[in-house]
Structure 1
Amino acid sequence: MNDGNEKSHRQRGKSKKRFNIFHIVLISILLIIVIAVGAVGGYVLAAIRSAPPLNPDEFLTQSQSSIVYAPDPKNSGSYIQVANLHGDQNRLWVSINKIPDNLKNAFIATEDARFYKHHGIDFIRIMGAFVANIKAGDITQGGSTITQQLIKTVMLSPEKTLKRKIQEAYLAYQLENVYSKDQILEAYLNTIFLGSPNINVNGVEAASLIYFGKHVDQLDLAECAVIAGITKNPSRYSPYANEKNAKERQELVLKLMLEQGYITQDEYEKAINEKLEYKTAQWVTDYDHAYFVDQVINDVINDLQKKYNYSRDDAVKKVYNGGLKIYSTMDISVQENIEKSFENNDLFPQTKKDTNGALQPQGAMIIIDYHTGEIKGIVGGRGHEGKRLLNRATQSKRQPGSSIKPLTVYTPAIDNGYTTRSPIDDTPFVVHQKGGDWQVHNYENNYWGRISLREAIQYSRNIPAAKLVMALGVDTSVKYAESFGLDIDPEDRYPAPMALGGLTHGVSPLQMAAAYGALANGGVYITPHTYTKVVDKDGSVLLENKPDKHVVVSKQVAYIMTSLMRSVVSGGTGTGAQIPNMPVAGKTGTTSNYKDAWFVGYTPYYSAAVWMGYDQNEVLKAPNGRYVTGGSYPARLWKDVMTKVHEGLTSKEFDVPDGLTWVDVCKDSGELPTDLCARDPRGSRVVRDIFIKGTEPKGYCTVHQVATVDVTTGKLATEYCPPEDVQTKVFMNIPDRDPSLNTRDKAYILPEEYCDIHGPATQSPWPGQSEPPQNGVEAPGSGQTNGDTENNTPGSPQEENVNGNNAVTGALNQIRKFIDNNIDNNKEKRADKN
């Protein structure tokens, strides 16, 4: 009995001991679980607390690529894309209602089949992925929802850690409480990376353009499946990375869409069998017309800084990441024509590369529609590797040489009372200025003597230009230059820079084309610009270009300048710039050291400037060793481009304003002509020219005078000169001219001395010669200007007859006296013989 009880007691003791051990183990396990849960909870809580704060606006205001547009040459009023600007992410945002259902469904079927059922975290998918990965012994499936992927892309680092996954789930849950499913899907489809190792593409719109050359709303089912398939591994499934892999992935996406009921069997088979055509990605990741686009970028950045007080960095970010639509003024045809001509090495004096690999000599050209100020084409150099180039058309400033003369010399002169036929003596001239005397020289180091203002600009004579600047005053030249948009340094406020263009800091082709454009535009300067407006991603106008304009000179002065510069092109230094069936006005420019050569001009449509020179300021020489001038290669390049630009445009003349008149004048005096002006030994000096009403000449020419000279000496004839050596001629009487000067017109200047080889050099004139020589005067409407005036002498028509008879009578008397003397001498000789 006792044994039984004892045995029972021992059994109960053993059971109690086992129970205690079980409890201890159970409690320990529970404690471990609690501790583990607490640790995990603490870790999770710490991860959540360290998560970045959710900013809902960040998802719909992400970095977006900006687009530069140009007017569509084939469709007036429409624009076409010419450049895609982006920073680290090449993204074009598109609203959810413009994304095809097939594309949305393709992503959902592939990436998140329960997208519309979960609340940011899909626990069912997570468990399914966990089991699948355990069975596979590797991570073959992911459990991230579309919302989580969006969080990861926008807010978190790409590292694969438990902490990041916890934060991702937590933030995804938060985001689902803020945004609708469609908003989340829109952000996701515009954010996800869809490029390849060499192609930076974010979002379905950019992907659609880069792979298929069309906007996303134009994609068909097969194309939608390709883009959705890239997501899993862009470096493997991008069509540009591996087209075969991309096709296999596309078929899987279509299969999932079929299984989930998004498409029918017929749609599936049609998409599977469709032949895919991929487009080149070049234009999306880079851009053509880099010189123009770069200038647009610079201008928009600068204007954002001015208008909104942005820092430079903020303005740059806005341009590249703000999703802007920038509407440029580029004429694609004009731009391409300039680019093609700059690729033609025959239009440049030489072609070689400098130590930096840049072609030399360099060049630049810009074309402006001066009616609006819109820049139509820019090329800032030869060669265009890469982007963000040195733009010599807008950024570089070089000495303009004589191309500055219309702006600082001749426009001020015309606007201050000079005329096209104002006489100027092209004779030696010294200017006393700060730093020493300036001996002015012409290009050929010669002197032409008396010329008109028109001839001075036509043949780019330096001395007349210097004389005009001195007569007008340097301050006057500076005032006009600045009104034309040029920057004049204080060091350049002297006669030499203002007359001949030797500016310290120079000018740009942009400045010169705009300045000449003011003359073409009736004297109104319009600030040149590269864009018309900038619209932000929400459609609001951020910038609108309303260029400043101001009147530099009157329409009449501007047209006179056009007339003068047409002479340069029609028969002066700029004949190389003539284009078929279109009037051209322009001016050449060559610096004294031959380091810069220019041609600047305009037509009834455009103004344009061409510059050539070395980046290292070397002397410009042609292959034959001759120096390059503005009238050679620059003028020919200008002609080559502008001929193509004007193809198809109606030939027309420049608009002629009221207030002008055409008058016959003497080209040597600038006054109304007399009969003697037509009898000049060089031919008639009577020309018809244009004047602003009120400035036309009122008096008659006093420069041309008739005189009797001894042909053997070229001096005024005396009574002792034999008749056979005496001739009556028409000369120019320029009293202040030094007779020793070797000018081109020296032979036509009225002599001051009397013949001294046929008798004493007395001022006893040849019989019949009036004292002193006199000018002819023609009464208005007498009709004598172009008549036969070979034997006419000074005076009115009535006086011509009187003076003419006196001259004949005097000559006959002199001959009679000569014969009588010979008879008397012969009688004396015969008497002596006898």
Structure 2
Amino acid sequence: MEKNSTNIQILIKRLKNGERLSPEEMRVVAHHMAQLQFEKKQHEKRMQAAAHSSDKPKGPSFHEQVAKAEAEAKKNRLRNNLEKHSAKHAAREDAELYGRVHAVNERNKPSFHEQVAKAEADAAKRDKSIKKRAKEEKKLLKEERKAMLNGDRTGFSLKRDLRHPAAFIKRIFTKPNPYYTPGADAFVVVAGKKIKNKARTLSIKYTIRNLVVMMVAMILMFSIYAATVIAFAPKIDPNKIYDQISTNSVIYDDNGTRIDSVSSGESRTIIKYKDIPKHTVDAFVALEDKTFWKHHGFNWKRMIGAIASSFGRGNIRGTSTLTQQLARNVYLPNIKSQRSARRKILEMYYASKIEHTLSKKEIFAAYVNSIYFGYGNYGIENASKTYFSKDVSQLTLKESAALAAMPQSPDTYALIQNADSPVASQSTSTPIKIDGKSYIANDISKPRRQIALKLMADQGYITRAEYEENAASNLADFLNPSLNAGRETDTSYFTDYMVEQIIKDLMKKYKLDYQSAHDMVYNGGLKIYSTMDSKAQKAVEAGFKEGNYFPSLTGLKKDSAGNIVSDKGVITLYAYNNMFQDGKFKLADGEYKKNNDGSLTIYKNKRLNIYKTSTANGSDYSLEFKPSYVVENGSLYIIPGGFINIPTESKTLDKNGNLKISAKFINKNSKLITSDDGAPAFTDKLYTLQDKVIQPQGAMVITEVGTGKVKAMIGGRGVSGKKLFNRAVNARQPGSSIKPLAIYSASLQRSYELAESGQTFPLTDPDNDKQGTKYYGDYLTASSVIVDEPIKFNGKVWPKNSNNRYSGPMTMRRGMQTSTNVVAVKLYEQLGSDYSASMVEKYGISTLNKTPNGDLNPASLALGGLSKGVSPYEMAEAYATFPNGGVRVENRVYTKVVDRDGRTILSTEKKQHKVLDEGVAYIMVTMLKSVVNGGTGTNAAISGVEVGGKTGTTDAKYDVWFDGITPKYAASLWIGTDVNIPLTSSSVAAARLWSRIMSNVPNVRKGSYKPAPSNIVRKNGEYFTKGTEGGLGKSPLDESEESEIIEEEQEVTEQDQNDNNNQAAQNNQAQQPQQGQQPNNSGNNGSGNPAGG
């Protein structure tokens, strides 16, 4: 009944909304409305009967009865009127409702023919749709039933599933409904039950079956993939695991002899399990793999979760067992940083092989012997000696926990860091001294160390009391480092430069980031074949140890406090005692301000520099010492600087660029920041100084002619260690040694090019001297005459020669022999800055500044005052062009790099560039030999060797050079100071040391210069390229005398050669200035002469 009532209400609601009802539905509504009307009438009669059925009153008087009767009559009339009105109103509403229903039906009622046509069309359309849907559903049901029976995906559409994943998931969790009737009502009756008329229905059994099938399919697919990976995996023999553990990349010289490894501290001492304390074993197991003693190589539960995660995230997440880590470190070094299913499969496979071959104790020993512990320490024994100065067998509980905490991030967690490390400013760092040098005790791993101890306690390895006793310890309390255990102490300028070059080449070739390439070199077990000649390298290093060959310092200007100052009175080096007293750096008046809140403001541009630096967590401010000096045993040492260790969070920069140290830090470190007399002072536990460096310094590079192979390199003297400041690849002003590149060879090459095209040299009159365009001839050649005379620039005489004299007319050859500045400047005026600069660049000089205020001027190109300087590395490459027939070959420091599997991953080939005509190069060789045979470079002569070269001295003798050639080698040597301090000697000292070193290079006497090419013409005792020998012009020199000079310079007879050999022997045996001569204030007359000789 309730259901019928609900249906009628729905029909009435539809009718009110203006919908059209079927005739049957209209009859139901009409019947319902008539029934309602009938019930209302019956209700009215019952009410009237009830109103008249009350008993008559007894006992009232006649008048009372009359009054009551009238009142009742009135009441009845009112009631009748109300009921009558209500009945009429209800009837009227019913009539109106019925009328609206009838009107709507009549208005929308189609004609009889229309009704018949529409009924036929609807029936046909419905039949067609029903048949189509039935056909599709039947096909789908058939495919799905077949797929479920076969246990595979036959019949499923991958394209459809990928395009509509929601529909695919729906089919997994629902099954086809066999009673689905397309086109029927929402419910159908089956076996007396009403069910929803849907194509698919939910079924737990069906869902479980689908999931099982999918899981089986996935397991099968993964098994096939895993089997494929394992089938192609390299075979391993865990019994020989220690053959694979050594990860040192070995460096070989040009003869294939092992000479070095890529860095210090990578040596490894293998220990046995019995030498490892139990608490050390427990610390690693508790932190890294608590199920180590139970599993068979890997933890199934964690592995399945990690692999399943990889399908969703695209990479494997989760930790590995110790056995897996061992397998990864030893057998998968090239892909160990990848997060992939393939790597995990290989890990599991190799771990299983290891577990079946080695005992648990052997596995653990191999693990701790193989892992990296930071700061160049491989293996736990080496780490124990480096960090705690003891064998592993002597490690304490807290020391074991400290080492166990490191393998997760060894470089970050390294217990020792260099003083200039980015971690130095963090609150977890403590400055320490090791063998008198400054380092950092890095306690950033303390939280992980505490976790290791807590896990040991939780797993029953130690007691709660032992945990509490050791967890609170700070690293500085038990760190006892020793950095000399198994480390090399020799300098490694060549190695350091080569390694950095290899890292860059790996990054370029294999698209690696710096860290990945760095790890590949340092930890990849590579074989690096260098170009180094070990004997030549030893000769260079031995020569740099002979302090008598280095000039002393002179012309030191000091202020009243003993600080070294420049000509303008600016302090360049503070006296050490003016910076530090009793191990403290005390701030002076005007360098600081104590603020009311207890903080301290340090003013900029005083004895401390303030720099903004970038860190991994943002920006920081570095508080660094300016350079200072100290004199020890008569030698001057520079302390390049250092820094005060203030944590980042304890310092800020004010609007004026001054540094503010927080009151909290000052109060917390009251023992480190003292204030005895009111002025703040920092103790040596709060600051770090760089190592002192003896002055003057030097650098040298030897490269092989024709191959570009660098045979030796040194970047300093008096220092030891790794990753030192390499002056061999840092630029300094070259002085006159630039002249053969920018002036003399450029003049000859330009003339050759003009003669080839049938033109003469377009000489110009600079109108600043008496010579004008006279005496040069049609071309600029070695015989062109240039008058050494005063030249005026902007009304002033410039340049001056190093001897402050003018020598009158001389040939170009003689001008280079004597390094006459006026000759070089005059030739520069004829060449022009553009051509001269282009030639310098062709020689491979990368530091040329071609901006308007840069090096396009005679001071830079003619006299060597390059604004950015040039390095010995590039000068050696440039000078090798001359004996190589005018072809520059790029320097290279290695030939190939081979990985541990024997594959060549890098190789270098000769890269050459044509710079000069072969004839021009030949003439330049003869001119360079003239410099050594009878010019400024006589001190570079070597017995039995035809040496050529050019000297160079910068203004005030800050830098002295000799760049020389032999038939087999080109070598560049520089001597100078790290700050501009005049030397007692000019380039004579550089030429003498060059000769001393090169005479001890075994192969220097081998080979010969290239013979004169076919386009060389000799006339009047001089050499010309064909076509430039004509039109020599009239010379003020006596021709016979000039010819005699040329013959004397070029025709080196046997007697001349013997004389040169004798001179070389005298040079090598000459008494040298004593090392360590006390610097003084005498020497430089302040003449301001430009670069010369």
1:362 maps onto 2:697 in alignment:
yes
Q: How far apart are the structure 1 equivalents of 2:840 and 2:485?
A: 42
Are the equivalent residues in 2 in contact too, given 1:66–1:326 (CA < 8 A)?
Answer: no
Tell me, yes or no, if the aligned pair for 1:191 and 1:202 is still in contact at 8 Å: no
Matched, 1:181 2:354: yes
Are residue 382 (structure 1) and residue 717 (structure 2) matched? Answer: yes
Superposition pairs for residues 376-775 of structure 1, below 5 Å?
Answer: 376-394=711-729, 396-417=730-751, 418-431=780-793, 439-487=798-846, 488-490=848-850, 491-621=854-984, 628-630=985-987, 632-646=988-1002, 650=1005, 653-659=1008-1014, 661=1016, 663-665=1018-1020, 688-697=1021-1030, 703=1036
1:288 equivalent in alignment to 2:490? yes
Structure 1 contact 412–477 (Cα < 8 Å) conserved: yes
Change (3 A) 1:196 1:481: closer
Match of 1:352 in 2: 636
Deviation (angstroms), 1:661: 4.7
Distance 1:188 1:543, change over 3 A: farther
Q: Name the residue aligned to 2:43.
A: none
**Structure 1 residues 311 and 439, CA gap change in structure 2 (3 angstroms):** same
Distance 1:192 1:183, change over 3 A: farther
Q: Work out the CA distance in 2 between the residues paired with 1:461 and 1:583.
A: 23
C-alpha separation between the residues in 1 aligned to 2:983 and 2:1012? 41
Distance 1:85 1:602 in 2: 32
Q: Which residue of 2 aligns with 1:334?
A: 536
CA distance in 1, matches of 2:934, 2:529: 41
Query: Any idea what SS the aligned residue of 2:1022 has?
Result: strand
Shift of 1:305: 2.4
Q: Distance in 2 between matches of 1:347 and 1:235?
A: 52
d(CA) in 1 for partners of 2:834 and 2:357?
Answer: 66
Post-superposition Cα deviations, 1:424-471, rounded to whole Å, max 9, x if no partner, equal 111111346xxx977221112211111001000000001111111110
Q: Is the 8 A contact 2:372 2:379 kept in 1?
A: no
Structure 1, unpaired ranges of 5+ = 1-53, 93-98, 112-118, 125-146, 157-170, 211-229, 237-280, 622-627, 666-687, 707-729, 733-834
CA shift at 1:542, angstroms? 2.0
| Superposed displacement of residue 699, structure 1 | 6.7
Of 506, 521, 525, 1:323 maps to 525
1:391 corresponds to which letter in structure 2? Answer: N
Alignment of 1:79-90 (within 5 A): 79-85=257-263
Contact 2:968–2:1007 (CA under 8 A) maintained in structure 1: no
1:477 Cα shift? Answer: 0.5
Q: Residues of 1 paired with 2:345 and 2:259: CA distance?
A: 36
C-alpha contact 1:660 1:690 (8 A) present in aligned 2: no
CA displacement 1:710-750 (0-9 Å, x = unmatched): xxxxxxxxxxxxxxxxxxxx999xxxxxxxxxxxxxxxxxx
* Distance change (3 Å), C-alpha of 1:438 and 1:476: farther
Q: Partner letter of residue 554 of structure 1?
A: D
Q: Distance in 2 between matches of 1:595 and 1:184?
A: 67
Q: Deviations over 1:496-552 (max 9, x none)?
A: 211001010000000111100111211111111111112223322222112421110
C-alpha root-mean-square deviation of aligned residues, in Å?
A: 4.8
How far does the alpha carbon of each residue in 1:233-286 deviate from its partner, in whole angstroms, 9 at most, with x for none? 7899xxxxxxxxxxxxxxxxxxxxxxxxxxxxxxxxxxxxxxxxxxxx979633
SS of corresponding position for 1:336? helix
Secondary structure of 2:743's partner? helix
Shift of residue 383, structure 1, vs aligned partner: 1.9
Identify the residue that residue 249 of structure 2 maps to in structure 1: 67
CA drift at 1:586: 0.2
CA distance in 1, matches of 2:814, 2:350: 82
| SS in structure 2 at match of 1:385 | coil
Q: Tell me, in whole angstroms, the C-alpha distance in 1 between the residues paired with 2:998 and 2:941.
A: 9
Letter in 1 for 2:528: I
Question: Distance between the aligned counterparts of 1:197 and 1:704, measured in 2?
Answer: 75
Q: 1:91 to 1:567 in 2, by over 3 A?
A: same
Q: Do the aligned residues in 2 keep the contact of 1:195 with 1:235 (CA within 8 Å)?
A: no
Change (3 A) 1:174 1:397: closer
Deviation at 1:558, TM superposition (A): 0.8
The change in CA–CA distance for 1:617 and 1:123 in structure 2 (over 3 A counts) is: closer
Contact 2:324 2:350 in 1 (8 A): no
- Contact persistence 1:68–1:293 (CA under 8 A): no
Task: Please name the residue that 2:648 is paired with.
Answer: none
Residues 426/193 of structure 1: CA separation in 2 closer, same or farther (3 Å cut): same
SS where residue 354 of structure 1 aligns?
A: strand
Provide the rounded CA distance (Å) in 1 between the counterparts of 2:921 and 2:364. 60
Would the aligned equivalents of 2:250 and 2:525 in 1 still touch at CA under 8 Å?
A: no
Residues 1:90 and 1:235: Cα distance change in structure 2 (over 3 Å): farther
Alignment of 1:29-178 (within 5 A): 65-71=247-253, 76=255, 78-85=256-263, 121=293, 150=323, 175=348
Q: Cα distance, 1:704 vs. partner?
A: 6.5
Partner SS for 1:550: strand
Q: Distance in 1 between matches of 2:1033 and 2:941?
A: 36
Q: What amino acid is the match of 1:544?
A: S
Residues in 2 aligned to 1:705 and 1:658: alpha-carbon distance in whole angstroms = 30
Instruction: Report SS of the residue matched to 2:639.
Output: coil
Q: Secondary structure at the match of 1:513?
A: helix
| Equivalent residues of 1:66, 1:323 under 8 A apart | yes
Decide whether aligned partners of structure 1 residues 173 and 334 sit closer, same or farther in structure 2, where only a CA change above 3 A counts. closer
The amino acid that maps onto 1:693 is: K
Give 1:323 shift.
2.4
Q: Which runs of 5+ in 2 are unaligned?
A: 1-225, 282-290, 297-319, 330-343, 386-390, 398-482, 553-634, 641-691, 752-779, 1043-1093
Shift of the alpha carbon at 1:310?
2.4
- SS in structure 2 at match of 1:65: coil
8 A Cα contact 1:65 1:90, kept in partner: no
> Among residues 496, 500, 504, which one is paired with 1:302 in the alignment?
504
Amino acid at match of 2:369: F
**Taking every aligned residue pair, what percent have the same amino acid on both sides?**
34
C-alpha distance 505-650 of structure 1, shift in aligned 2 (>3 A): closer
Matched to 1:412, the amino acid is A
Q: How far, CA to CA, are the matches of 2:347 and 2:1030 in structure 1?
A: 89
* One-letter amino acid of the counterpart of residue 67, structure 1: S
Instruction: Decide whether aligned partners of structure 1 residues 416 and 345 sit closer, same or farther in structure 2, where only a CA change above 3 A counts.
Output: same
Query: Which structure has the bigger radius of gyration?
Result: 2
Q: TM-score, normalised by structure 2?
A: 0.41
Residue 315 of structure 2 corresponds to which residue in structure 1? none
Letter of the 1:484 partner, please give it.
Y
